[in-house]
Amino acid sequence: MAWEVPRYLEPLPPVLGASLTVSAQKPLFSTETGYDLSFELSELNQRTLSWQAQARATGGSAPEGLENCRPVGSYVIYREGTSFPDEADVAALNTFQNKMRSQTINPTFRFLSQIPSSRIPIASAGDLAEFGRREIQELASRIKIRFSEFFPTPDIDLSKFSFQSTNGSSSIESAVAFARGLVGLNQICETLSMEGNVTVACSENSRFTRYVTPTSAFISNDPADMDSLLRPYDTPSRKICLDVANKGRTDQEVMRFKMSGDARQLRDRIAQKMSMPGSRQLFNISGDEVQLLAKICGYHLAMFNDNNTWCRLFDYEDLNVAEYQRELGHYWNESYGLPINSMVACPLINDTLEYFDRLAARGAGAGASLPLMKFKFTDENTLIRLVSLLGIAKDPRQLGFGNYAQSRNRQFRTAKMAPFGGNLALNLFRCESPQVLFFNDQTFRVQVLLNERPINITFCQDAFCDLEDFKRELMAQAGQCQVQEACNVAFGLNPDGTRPGNRGGGGGRGDASGITPSRLLIALTAMMAMAKRSIHGL
C-alpha cells in the first residue's frame, strides 16, 4: 500500500511544526528525527508546565511533598538542533538525482530528480538549519517556565549560567541559539568567535522600551580529539578501545540485516514504485540508496516540515525497516550492545555528580559561586551513550539482525532518546521534611528529564531520587565507571593493566608486551577503518 499522507504529517507552516507527532508504532527516522516529531500529541502541553505542575501531571512525587522541595541546580546535555545532512549524504543525493535523470522512471516520481540542489546545498552540510535554530530557542524559552525559580525576572543574567559545547559547528550554533533564547527578544546579541571559545554579547533592543542590563555568555569548546567530556568516544585512546572491543560486531549486524528478507523486500518495493508502470525492468536502485532516501525523507520532515517529496516513496513498513537498520548501528556502536559503549560517557556523569555534591555542600559555606544551571551541547553519539548509562529504554533482549519483527515495539528508539535537539536534564532539589520543627531535616533529590519528559530511573523508587542513593546505584550500574579497566580487558590485559599470568609482576602495569600481535593488528586495523567508516554511512 502506498504511503498516503497521514493526518499527523499534513503540511503545516514551519512555525506550526510542534503539532507533528507519531506514536512508537509509527515510522520515525532514528537520529534524523525532528524533535517535535518524537512526541505524542498528549505530551506536548506538558512541556510548558512548571516542574511542579509537570510532576503532578505525570504522577511524580517526593516523600517530603513537592511543595516542600525547591530546585537548587540543573545539569542539562543537549544534542544540536535540526541540522543539514553531512557532506557525504548530500553528495550521494546529488549523485542519485543524476542517476534518476539518466534512467527511465515512473512519471509520478520524476519530479524528485528536479529538486534543486539549493534545497540542501552542499555548502550547508552539517550546519544548523533555521528550523533547528528556532527549535533550540524554544527549548530555552520553555526551561525558563519550567524553572522560574532560576529566572525570577525577564532581565536574564547569562553569567549565572555555564555553557560548553563541542567544537562542531552545529553544536556551537545551537549553544548560541540557546543563549539568545534565554534572553529573548528584549535583547539583541552579537557573537564573537575565537579558538576554543565563543562569546555571545547581548544588549538592549531599541525596539523595546523596557531597559535591560547587558549580559554575555562564554561558550567554551575543545578540539574533537581532546574533548574527553562532550566527545569522549573521539579521543585517540578511547576510539581505539571502542573499535577493538566491538570486534566488528556493528558491521556484522548491519551487513546481515542488509542481506535479510526484510531489507531485500524493501529495496524491491522502492524499485517497483520507481519503475515505469507495466515495465518488466525494475528501476536500478541499491539497498544503500534506499537507506539514503529514507534518511533524506527524515531530514525534509525535520528541516522543512515536508512530506510531499522523498517521503512519498515510502510506506509505514518501509520506513520502519529502514530505521531498524540504522538502529542496529547505534545499538552496537553507542548503546546496549556492549557495556563499554555507555561507560565512556562516565566523565559527564562524574562532572554532574561533582556539581551536585558542591551544590549540596553550599549550605556549609562551599560552592557559593556555582552556576545556577550547566548547559552542555554535544551530538547524538554522546547523548545516546549517556542515556544508555542511565539504563533508559533498555529491552530485555538484544537487538540483532534476525529479530526485526520481534523488535517492532522495542523500547530502544534513538528517535525518542536522541532526536535533533534531544536533551537529558538532571535536576537537583532540596526537600525539607514538614514534620521536623526544631532543626533542619533536608534531603537532596535528583529528577531526570529526557527530552523534557520526567523519567523514572529503574534503580530509583521515586521520581525524585535521594542523591546518595542515585550516586550509589548509578555507579553500581555503570561498573563503577572503570573505563580504563574495561579497555585493558579489550586489549587482552588484566583489568589492572598487567599481562595475564603476570598479575602484579612481570611486565607490570600497561606493559606493551601484554598486547598480543593479533590484538595489535586488530587495533591498527580499527584505526584505519575509522577513517573510512561512519555510523551514518552504515
> Is the confidence at residue 16, as pLDDT, over 80?
no
Rounded to whole angstroms, the Cα distance separating 224 from 198 reads 16
Query: pLDDT at position 356, please?
Result: 98
> Is the confidence at residue 365, as pLDDT, over 80?
no
Nearest to 208 by CA among 155, 142, 134: 155
The CB-side HSE value for 37 (13 A sphere, CA atoms) comes to 35
Q: Which residues are CB-neighbours of 391 under 8 A, at least 6 positions away? A: 457, 458, 459, 477
Rounded to whole angstroms, the Cα distance separating 324 from 429 reads 38
The rounded mean pLDDT for the chain is 88
Enter the DSSP assignment of 128: B
According to CATH, the topology of domain 7-481 is Rossmann fold (3.40.50)
pLDDT tens-digit readout, 82-91: 999 999 999 9
Domain ranges of the chain: 7-481, 491-537
pLDDT tens-digit readout, 135-175: 999 999 999 999 999 999 888 999 999 999 999 999 999 99
> Is the confidence at residue 525, as pLDDT, over 60?
no
Dihedral of the alpha carbons of 252, 255, 258, 262, in degrees to the nearest 10: -10
Strands annotated E in 212-341: 215-222
Query: pLDDT at position 28, please?
Result: 84
Nearest to 333 by CA among 53, 537, 188: 537
* N- to C-terminal Cα separation, the chain: 27
| Widest Cα–Cα separation across the chain | 87
Rounded to whole angstroms, the Cα distance separating 78 from 176 reads 12
